[in-house]
Amino acid sequence: MRQVKLGADGPSVGAIGLGCMSFGGMYGATDMNESHATLKKALDLGVNHLDVANIYGAGVCEEVIGSFIKGKGNPFTIATKGGIVPGPDRDFRNGKDYLTECLDGSLKRLGVDYVDLYYVHRRDARIPIEDVMETMKSFVDAGKIGAIGLSEIAPSTLERAVKIAPVAAVQSEYSLWTRLPELGMLQACERLGATFVSFSPLGRGMLSDNDLVPERFPAEDFRATNPRFMEPNFSANLQRVRKLRELAADKGVATSTLALAWTFAMAPNSIAIPGTRSSNHLAQDAAAADIVLSPDDMDAIEAIMPAGFAHGGRYNVSQATGVEDFC
């Protein structure tokens, strides 16, 4: 698989990583065996970068990974995150004590004493980013983390952060139906030496070969109250997706493969971290790393899904809390 560096001086990983949020049941029921089978398939495909967080499944996702890598010498480059206080009144804390607590808990669940990449999951606006970066730098100096990442931030925050310490990666939602990073974040990452990481690059399962059925989403599914999966938005979005499927079929690839290849055409040095528990879907995702789309391909995709086509916001009010706006 084509390799991409995490930051200017970080390790090289596959352009396709694996988002592990679903291992904890956040998109419906899962089990250890299913998750372990997906992790094994990832290694077979050259998908060697895992993305997780302490709050995914209340720590279950990290425990699943920890149980898989135990005794294997950790064959993955692992990224995890901290800084969100879970619960009905979700809050964000970026103070040193809380980030240390989050990191130490993650290391324990993963069964490691070091992770390659550690993200501030959401920015705590009460604390200057410069102070947060000093804390993160202390984790690097202590040998607990290899590199620093930031999630869902504005380009201006990245500008300030890199004055304190290098930022290896910035993670934001980016896909055919969520294109905000094109308005400054992709450019800032390129300019400042941070690798851009696309999360939810398949629109939370929407950009695939199979119709989703929102009525069947369990109550705990993130999408159950997400505007884009609620009517009349969902039906309008599905019409566009079906046209994209026709284009993918004409090219002889899966819809997910085409959608992921598009992210690399738009951001050539980026990493995408689609989430799945299906070995077959993971193989389709991995194929996108080495596909080169022509200008005609890009024009055809743009005609089907022009910038801003999506009906409904990418988050509801509660889900959007803590995300930095910049446009």
- CA dist 53 and 31 (Å) reads 18
Supply the pLDDT for residue 25.
Answer: 64
Residue 243 falls inside a structural domain: yes
Model's pTM, two decimal places?
0.95
Is 326 a member of any domain?
no
Question: For residue 320, is it within any domain?
Answer: no
- CATH code for the domain of 170: 3.20.20.100
Cβ atoms of residues 219 and 162 within 8 Å: no
Residue 312 falls within a domain, yes or no?
no
Instruction: Kindly give the pairing relationship between strand 169-173 and strand 148-151.
Output: parallel
Q: Which residues pair with 178 in a beta bridge?
A: 175
In a domain, 257, yes or no: yes
279 in Cβ contact with 37 (< 8 Å): yes
Distances from the Cα of 17 to the Cαs of 108, 198, 227, 250, 260, in angstroms?
22, 10, 27, 26, 11
In the chain, which residues have pLDDT < 50? none
Instruction: Note the pLDDT of residue 27.
Output: 63
- Kindly state whether residue 310 falls inside one of the protein's structural domains: no
In a domain, 168, yes or no: yes
Which pLDDT belongs to residue 28? 60
Helix (H) or strand (E) holding 200: none
- What is the number of domains present in the chain? 1
Range of the domain at 74: 3-304
Instruction: Pinpoint the alpha helices (H) of 84-232.
Output: 96-110, 129-141, 155-161, 185-192
**Within-domain flag for 177:** yes
Residues acting as catalytic residues: 56
